[in-house]
Amino acid sequence: AQSVTQLGSHVSVSEGALVLLRCNYSSSVPPYLFWYVQYPNQGLQLLLKYTSAATLVKGINGFEAEFKKSETSFHLTKPSAHMSDAAEYFCAVIYGGSQGNLIFGKGTKLSVKP
């Protein structure tokens, strides 16, 4: 079955440190890839997307992600964490042949220590 795997349900970093959240997809055909952020009791906000253009994608709030076909990965990074980055992050894919519905990973909760 097509799936999305996020390694690490909880990641903790210090303010100013590098943020790295991992995401791997399961398809030989590159899908469309997304990262969403969810703050407590809120809906999801799109951070960035990959739709077969540039492999390094820049998003909002200083986040970026790199699509690596050989590794079937789409990891999310930010050079310097800020307290306001504390939230839950979801990797999601739209696989070819689907009706456009998103398949989500289980999420990674990011904590930022002062």
| Residues in contact with another protein by the rule CB under 8 A | 4, 9, 32, 34, 36, 41-46, 49, 51, 53, 90, 92, 94, 99-107
Q: How far is the CB of 68 from another protein (least distance, A)?
A: 20
Q: Tell the smallest beta-carbon distance from residue 46 to another protein (Å).
A: 6
Integer-rounded Cα Rg, in Å, for the chain is: 14
Between residues 17 and 104, which has the closer beta carbon with respect to another protein? 104
Torsion 50-107-109-36 (CA) sign: positive
Closer by beta carbon to another protein, 34 or else 67? 34
| Paired residues of 64 in beta bridges | 58, 77
Nearer Cβ to another protein, position 17 or 66? 66
Please identify, using beta-carbon distances, which residue of 14 and 51 lies nearer to another protein.
Answer: 51
CB of 99 to another protein, least distance (A): 5
Sequence-distant (≥ 6) Cβ neighbours of residue 65 within 8 angstroms: 23, 33, 35, 48, 50, 56, 57, 59, 74, 75, 76, 77
End-to-end CA distance of the chain: 41
